[in-house]
Amino acid sequence: MIPPASPRISNTRSRGQVETNRGATALLLDSIKTAIRTEPFQDVYNVIHGKELGSPLSVSRGKFAIVKRCVEKSTGTEYAAKFLRKRRKGQDCRVKVLHEIAVLELTNPSHRIINLHQVYETPTEMVLVLEYAAGGEIFNQCVAEGDEAFTQEEVKRLMGQILEGVAFLHRNNIVHLDLKVTCCAAGGEIFNQCVAEGDEAFTQEEVKRLMGQILEGVAFLHRNNIVHLDLKLQNILLTSGCPLGDIKIVDFGLSRRLCQNQELREIIGTPEYVAPEILSFEPISTATDMWSIGVLAYMMLTRTSPFLGEDKQETFLNISQINIDYTEEELQDLPASAIHFIRSLLIKEPKSRATAEECLRHHWLQEQVQEKREEDLTSEICQRAHTKPASPSSSSSLSSCCSSSSEEGPLVEELIVVAAYTLGQCRPTMPDPETLSLDVKAISKRFRFEEPFSSLQKIIF
C-alpha cells in the first residue's frame, strides 16, 4: 500500500506552507437567533458525571470540547451538553462557536442533523445543549469492541478465576482439552464481550438504510451551501443502538459556507477521510464531503479503512494517489452495486464524483426494496419448511442486536481471532496461521483512527 513519494505531494507541502486561509469568510455568523444564556448551567441541568460522550477509541477527545450527558431539571429530558473552550492555543475562538451555532440553527429543519436546544456562556466556555443521540456513534458498530473489550485489570481478575477452575480440574486429574472463550464464563460473559464486534456489525441492509439517511442529511446541507468537512464514523450518531435507530449528523466545528464566486481552500479534516483536493490545497466544494461519504460507505461495509497507512504521511499518499485496490478480500462479498457506489465517490476529480442527490438515487440504495422482498420470501419458505432461514443477511440481521451465544459457523473463527487479540492468552484452534495473521491485521487496522487536524503545519511531512 505504500506508493512512492510523488511530486504532487511535495507541491502540496510548499504551497501549504503559504498560509492562504480564506476560511473566515466562509463562516456563517449573520443570524443567530438562539438566546445565549448566562445563568449557571448547573442551575438548569444536572450534568451526568462520569465518562464523557464519544468513543473511547478516539484519541482526539478533550482538547477543546467535551460532551456530557445532562438532564433538564424542569422536564427530565436528556440532552448532550457540548462544552467548548472559547480560547484555544492563545486565540479567541468564540466566533467559531458562533458559526457552529448558526449552522445548527440553519439545519434545524432536517431530522437527520442533530438539533440544538439551548446555548449557555461562561467567561471561558460556551455550552451547546444538543438533542441526545442515545445510540452513540456508528463508529462503535464499525470498530466495535473498544467499550466492551476487557481492561487489563478485568483480564487479570477473570484469568485468575479461570485458573482456579482449571486448577480444580487438574487436582482431580481431569483435563478439559477444549478450553476456549465460549467455555470459560458462566452466563456467557466472556463470550458476549469477545464477540461484541461480530454481533454489533451492521448488516448490508442496515448500512443501506443508514447510508440513505446520511445522504439525506448531507443533501440538505449541500442544498443550503454548507459543507460539513468532517464527515466520519464518529460524527454520525444513532438515536438508539438496539433496536438500531436513525442517524443524526453532529459536529459542525469544521463546516463552512460555500460562497458564490469565492473559492474556499483550507487544510482541514480527519486524515483518513480527507479528499485529495484538501491535500493539494485545491478548491473545496460539496464534492469534498462526497469523497468522505465514499470512505464512510467503504468502512461501514468492510469495517476497514480504505486509505489508512502506517502513519499520516502514508495515508495522505494513499489518498492523493487514489491507492485503492478493489480486488481486496474484504470487498469480495459485497454486491457489485455497492462497489459501484463507492467507486462513484472515490474519484480524484471532484466534478466527476456523484452528488448526494445522485447517490440517493443510486441502484445500490434502490435495490433495498426488491432484496427485502426476496429475503422475506426466503424466510417464509424456510419457516414453512420448519428450518432456519438460509439467507445470510437475515440471520445476521437478527444477530445484530440480540444474538445469543449459541451461534455456530464462521462466528467461531471471528471469536477466536478477537479473543486472541483481546486477551493475548488464548490460542486459536484453527490451524491456518495465514488466515489468522490476515484477520488480526484487519482488526488492528480498524483500531487506528486518528485525530483531526485543523492547521496546515500538522500535515507537513
Q: Which three cell numbers stand for residue 109?
A: 429543519
Query: Which amino acid is residue 232, in one-letter code?
Result: K
- Binding positions for ligand ATP, 362-381, rule CB under 6 A: none
Stretch that binds ligand ATP, among 49-57, 187-195, 198-206, 323-331 (CB under 6 A): 49-57
* Rounded least distance, CB 246 to ligand ATP, Å: 13
Active site residue 92: no
Q: Are 131 and 117 in contact (CB under 8 A)?
A: yes
Q: Are 137 and 248 in contact (CB under 8 A)?
A: no
Please pick, from the candidates 110, 203, 213, 234, the single residue that binds ligand ATP as defined by CB under 6 A: 234
Please pick, from the candidates 60, 225, 239, 379, the single residue that binds ligand ATP as defined by CB under 6 A: 60
* Separation in Å, CA 434 to CA 306, 427, 430: 21, 14, 11
Site string for ligand ATP, 90-129 (x = CB under 6 A): ------------------------x---------------
Buried b (16+ CB within 10 A) or exposed e, 139-163: bbbbbbbbebbbeeeeeeebeeebe
Q: Among residues 178, 311, 376, 439, which one is catalytic? A: 178
What is the C-alpha separation between 228 and 256, in angstroms, rounded? 7
Please pick, from the candidates 218, 229, 237, 347, the single residue that binds ligand ATP as defined by CB under 6 A: 237
- Binding positions for ligand ATP, 435-454, rule CB under 6 A: 452
Could you tell me how many residues of this chain bind ligand ATP (CB under 6 A)? 23
Closer Cβ to ligand ATP, 58 or 280, answer by number: 58
Helix (H, G, I), strand (E, B) or coil at 85: strand
Please pick, from the candidates 247, 250, 300, 319, the single residue that binds ligand ATP as defined by CB under 6 A: 250
Please pick, from the candidates 132, 220, 281, 421, the single residue that binds ligand ATP as defined by CB under 6 A: 132
What is the C-alpha separation between 227 and 252, in angstroms, rounded? 9
Distance of CA 140 to the CA centre of its chain: 7
Q: Are 427 and 226 in contact (CB under 8 A)?
A: no
DSSP E strands in 21-77: the ranges are 36-37, 45-47, 65-72
Closer Cβ to ligand ATP, 80 or 459, answer by number: 80
Which residues are near ligand ATP by CB under 6 A?
Answer: 53-55, 58, 60, 65, 67, 80, 82, 114, 130-133, 137, 230, 234-235, 237, 250-251, 253, 452
Residues carrying an active site annotation: 178
